A and B are shown apart, each in its own frame.
Chain A
Amino acid sequence: MQDIIMNALDYPILTLTTFLPLIGVLFILFMRKDKVIKWIALITTIATFSVSLPLYKYFDKTTYKMQFVEIHPWIPMWDIMYKVGVDGISILFIILTTILSILCVTVSWKAIQHKVKEFFVSLLIIETAMIGIFVSLNIFLFYLFWELMLIPMFLLIGVWGGPNRIYAAIKFVLFTLAGSVFMLIGIIVLYIIGGETLDILALSRVQYPFALQAWLFFGFFAAFAVKVPMFPVHTWLPDAHTEAPTAGSVILAGILLKMGAYGFLRFSLPMFPDATRAFLVPMLVLSVAAILYGAYVTLMQKDLKRLIAYSSVSHMGFVTLGIFTLNKTGVEGGILQMINHGIVTGALFLCVGIIYERTHTRMIEDYGGLAKSVPVYAVFFTIFTLAAIGFPGMNAFIGEFLIISGAFKMKTVLGILSIWGVVLGVMYMAWMYYRVVLNEVNPKIRSHLLDMDFREIITLVPLVFLVFLIGVQPEVLLSYMHTSVDHLLEQVNAQGVEVFTVSDSIKLLAQYIKEIF
């Protein structure tokens, strides 16, 4: 195995990072007092974050190989190994996860009043699942974490969510499950064809026949497209986002949506390169559709959370567009934009959550004049709104810039359409900002408006820091991914870029559908 570098630290850093939250869960299970539970949750998330920090210090940026790898036998009968490791693509998501998890705990400090124990148990299980997804180097392990995420999230939305929470929770689970069972079939087929192994790296080296690649591509696409979510299967997202408690929305927007895009990078591109190229046109069309459709729908939202949710559809459209440009600029932009979206949208949901705790309304028409009544809050809100718009000097600007450059390299029309998406983004965010922060103070909520307290400021400050850090010094993050992205693109473009035309790929699709019946 020349593709891996074993963990050289004297402790299993990735395993520890992944499972530390579960140890916190064990402690919480035996606690009775709500306050103690909250503190344990906070300490656990901070500890997880601290444990993960050496990863960035000792990460070798000059190689694409998997690092800090740990291998242990697990299910010998199926030749399944417990194998974890990170490369330049996955490492950044771990820090994103560990940071956002801390913020999810602090923001829920007061918002969660009943079933406190269950809430923090769910939250910590989700953290384990999220980290696990990004470190898994075995598809079986990956799938385990992928599904482990589902039920705590279901509870998070369904128990602590808004008025329409049960509908949203069930919709979320059924959509996700429907997608992932097809991935499960794909996994089993891979296992059988790829030589009875589920090792991601080993499977990426196998050359599959084209027809098989196409089928598997669709199987995995079903799971990832729902998670991203891509254009026609995005409908669970607005409901789930809107009804979820703040912490749930942050996790959904911050990390859960990234799992789909990460799946494309880890599975679809390296394992099914021919199919990826063949179905590039539909993928790009869906991405642009998501950008524009998402943006137009966002324009007419009346509910703050719903607005941010639909803007997520548009932003994730940028991400998938970047990934499927299949050039270095675009892919790196896509990955960076995933991180950015996690930070900015997570922060916006936190902002909405903070103000919602006071006013108990999410309707835009109920707001107005926040700049006058809660100036500190307004400052934070302004920063994150500008970041979401893609203001130069802030993080999303870099991501969008790279993606659009990549899109222009690929095809001019893609670039033009995605620029239009950015323009729409400015429109909906600025208009929302005008109605919420500027204007006159709405008398309905005047009596409830209190400015942010210390805990809330502490929650948002790290995100502000990241927004500007990435905005002015993107190389801090980009430097991690250069070699890994190069390697990924080598794998995809091994046989030269040869993209099918629109009519060809439609013909191919039709042929496959015919084969089914």
Chain B
Amino acid sequence: MDSFNIPNFPDLRPIAPELVVIGSALILILIDLFVKRKEIVAYTGIIGTILALFISIKVYAMIGPTSTFGGMFILDGYSNFFKLIFYINLILTICISIKYLRIEKASLGEYYALLLLATSGMMIMASAKDLMILYLGLELMSLSTYILVGILRNNLRSNEAAIKYFLLGGFSSAFLLYGASLIYGLTGTTDIAAIASYINVNGLAGNKILLLSMVLFAVALGFKIATVPFHMWAPDAYEGAPTSITAFMSVGPKAAGFAAIGRVFLIAFGSIKIEWSAVLIPLAVLSMGVGNIVALSQTNIKRMLAYSSIAHAGYALLGVIVGTGEGLSSMMNYMFIYAFMNIGAFAVVIMLRSEGISGEDLSDYEGLSKSHPLASALMLVFMLSLTGIPPTAGFIAKFYVFMEAIKAGYVSLVVIAVIFSVVSAFFYLRVIMYMYMREPKEEVVLSSSIPMGIALAVSTFIIFALGVFPSYILNLARFSILG
């Protein structure tokens, strides 16, 4: 008789963190109506995030890996690790936003609500065990981010960036849906695990439709993580967006995209690994190549960091190409460390923005070490970490990915990767060179604040701590291996 029952009310425990984040977002919108000081909204958002982080840990410790909503949504170590990245990304972004928004005269309460909503979208993506849920999370994340990119209503560049990001993002969503529909037509299911077993049981590994759908997924998710040749939106969107949002979306959506790639490619397309690695390898190589080489000629630091983030997507993609759980854990480790060093770098960029000065041009960094030795020292650390020079965490991130790639036999890929690392050293070091080896042209005013200071201190501490004692994060990433 049981089978005729109405389905039970779904178990809400696995999705509790998402509910907390969404609930906080709604609360933020509400209190935004009543408070004048928007900082309060921001701090409430941080409290909500910390609460969600706490619940994530508690729930996972309590019930372990569990799926809910008829197996469409799963809480496991893999998704939990990514959620940790999203929380960090969110908290750091809020910290660096508070003062910046005041300078931009855009202290809007909904800014923080949208940040939380975008984050909940990412969390749903990481937990999606069904292509429909994946799409749901993707859209929640994307739509919120589109608005955030264009939130400086009176700024033309911001508007342009939002439109561009929105149009191209819409295309990529369509690709994802098309791929999902093909898969559904082929296998009759949208459940990621069920797709894999259907393909295995029916021997569909060589099927052309399957290949086509895999390529469509690669395009759609490649867009989200900004790999070449689907990167066209990134430099413009990164440059035009408010800098705090640039920091946010250079980490969050990218990590969410990687979470989805890991699950979809390793599980759903697990049987055609050779085919999809043949698709992803050119993406990775092109991203490293184009990202690093084009970054050489940038004079706007946000654009430079945009190209650098394209290149980093290429490095992290190596971990996926390896195609093992270990490889994925190296990619997760990469994204975790990348979050700190990239947001840290953007935080310094934000500090240079003050009334009347954009602080985005490389020449604004000339002689910074003379007037602001601490800020330059921090930027130095972030640049070194992005280059991947020990003892910063950036080295550990690259080392792990390279090690897994070589283990899997992709030595030539790693050779390419390290050569482009050397190329990248040039433009990262150029920032250091401007700061330390040039004379200052004009007085630079730093707009620092306490939350900003905390964000910078935490990032720097983590970069060195994980650079010298990487065991903690390595164990966590290995513990959270998919499947």
Q: A residues near B, CB below 8 A? A: 74-78, 115, 117-118, 143-144, 147-148, 150-151, 154-155, 158-159, 165-166, 169-170, 173-174, 177-178, 181-182, 184-185, 188-189, 191-192
The distance in angstroms between the C-alpha atoms of A188 and B398, with both chains bound, is 12
Interface string of B383-413 (1 = CB under 8 A from A): 0100001110001000100110011000100
Tell me if B157 counts as interface (CB < 8 A to partner A).
no
**Do A148 and B391 touch (CB < 8 A)?**
yes
Our pick among A151, A165, A174 for the contact of B422 (Cβ within 8 Å) is A174
Tell me the complex Cα distance, A165–B469, Å: 35
Q: Inside 8 A of B418's CB, which chain A residues have their CB?
A: 181-182, 184-185
Contact yes or no, B437 A158, CB < 8 A: yes
Cα distance A74–B414 when bound, in Å? 25
**Taking the complex as formed, is B108 at the interface, i.e. its CB lies under 8 A from any CB of chain A?**
no
**Which of B246-254, B449-457, B470-478 is near enough to bind chain A?**
B470-478
Least CB distance, A453 to chain B, in whole angstroms? 30
- Would you call B433 an interface residue if the criterion is a C-beta within 8 Å of the partner chain's C-beta atoms? yes
Name the A residues within 8 Å of B471 (CB-CB): 74-77
Which residues from 398 to 443 on chain B have a C-beta closer than 8 Å to any C-beta of chain A? 399, 402-403, 406-407, 411, 414-415, 418-419, 421-422, 425-426, 429, 432-433, 436-437
Q: Select one of A78, A158, A188, A191 contacting B433, CB under 8 A.
A: A158
Q: How far is the CA of A13 from the CA of B415 in the complex (A)?
A: 38
Q: Are A144 and B478 in contact (CB under 8 A)?
A: no
A170–B380 Cα distance when bound, in Å, is 15
* Majority-rule SS of A interface residues: helix
| Cβ–Cβ contact A170 & B426, under 8 A | yes
Which chain B residues lie closer than 8 Å to A148 at the CB level?
390-391
Complex Cα distance, B447 from A452, in Å, reads: 49
A169–B433 touching, CB < 8 Å: yes
Complex Cα distance A148/B391, Å? 7
Q: A147-B390, A148-B390, A174-B425 are in contact. List 9 more A-B contacts (CB 8 A).
A: A75-B474, A77-B471, A77-B475, A118-B436, A154-B429, A165-B437, A169-B437, A178-B422, A182-B418
A-B contact count (CB 8 A): 85
In the assembly, what is the distance between CA of A76 and CA of B470, in Å?
10
Decide if A181 touches B437 in the complex (CB within 8 Å): no
Q: Which residues of A contact B469 (CB under 8 A)?
A: 74-75
Contact B390 A159 (CB under 8 A): no
A188 touches B436 (CB 8 A): no
Residues of A close to B475: CB separation below 8 A: 77
A164 to B161, CA, bound (A): 40
Q: Does B373 contact A (CB under 8 A)?
A: yes
Contact B389 A118 (CB under 8 A): no
Task: Please report B residues at the A interface, Cβ cutoff 8 Å.
Answer: 369-370, 373, 380, 384, 389-391, 395, 399, 402-403, 406-407, 411, 414-415, 418-419, 421-422, 425-426, 429, 432-433, 436-437, 469-471, 474-475, 478
A75 to B369, CA, bound (A): 35
What residues of A have a CB within 8 angstroms of the CB of B478 in the complex? 77
- Are A158 and B389 in contact, CB atoms less than 8 angstroms apart? no
Tell me the smallest distance from the CB of B131 to a CB of chain A, in Å.
34
Identity of the chain B residue whose Cβ is nearest the Cβ of A166 in the assembled complex: B437
Chain A residues with CB under 8 A of B384 = 151
Q: Are A181 and B419 interface neighbours, CB within 8 A?
A: yes
Alpha-carbon distance between A165 and B438 when the two chains are bound, in angstroms: 11
A159 touches B411 (CB 8 A): no
In the bound complex, CA of A150 to CA of B402 (Å): 21
- Tell me the complex Cα distance, A78–B433, Å: 35
Q: Which of B369, B411, B471 has the most CB of A within 10 A?
A: B471
CB distance from B396 to the nearest CB of A (A): 9
* Chain A residue with Cβ nearest B412: A516
| Contacts A76-B471, A148-B390, A188-B402; A177 near B437 (Cβ below 8 A) | no
Chain A residues within an 8 Å CB radius of B406: 185, 188-189, 192
Q: What chain A residues lie within 8 Å of B399 (beta carbons)?
A: 184, 188
Neighbouring A residues of B432 by C-beta, 8 Å: 154-155
Minimum C-beta distance from A79 to chain B (A): 11
19 contacts between A and B (CB under 8 A): A74-B469, A77-B471, A77-B475, A78-B403, A144-B391, A148-B390, A148-B391, A150-B389, A151-B384, A165-B437, A170-B433, A173-B429, A181-B419, A181-B422, A182-B415, A184-B402, A185-B406, A188-B414, A192-B407
A143, A170, A191: the one within 8 Å of B429 (CB): A170
Name the residue on A nearest B421 (C-beta). Answer: A181
Chain B residues near A154 (CB, 8 Å)?
429, 432
Q: Are A188 and B403 in contact (CB under 8 A)?
A: yes
Asked if B390 and A144 make an inter-chain contact with CB atoms under 8 angstroms apart, the answer reads yes
A185, B411: Cβ atoms closer than 8 Å: yes
With both chains docked as a complex, state the minimum distance between the C-beta of B286 and any C-beta of chain A, in angstroms. 20
Q: Which residues on the B side are within 8 Å of A166 (C-beta)? A: 433, 437
Whether B422 lies near A189 (C-beta < 8 A) is no
C-alpha spacing A188/B409, complex, angstroms: 12
Taken together as a complex, chains A and B put the C-alpha atoms of A144 and B469 apart, in Å, by 12
Q: By the criterion CB–CB under 8 Å, are B391 and A173 in contact?
A: no
Taking CB as reference atom, which chain A residue is nearest B425?
A177
A185 pairs with B422, CB closer than 8 A: no
Kindly list chain A residues whose C-beta atoms are within 8 Å of the C-beta of B390. 143-144, 147-148
A287 to chain B, nearest CB (A): 26
Report the 7 A-B pairs with minimum CB-CB distance, sorted nearest first.
A181-B418, A144-B390, A158-B437, A147-B390, A77-B474, A178-B422, A188-B406
Known: A148-B391, A173-B425. A155 touches B436 (CB 8 A): yes
A172 to chain B, nearest CB (A): 11
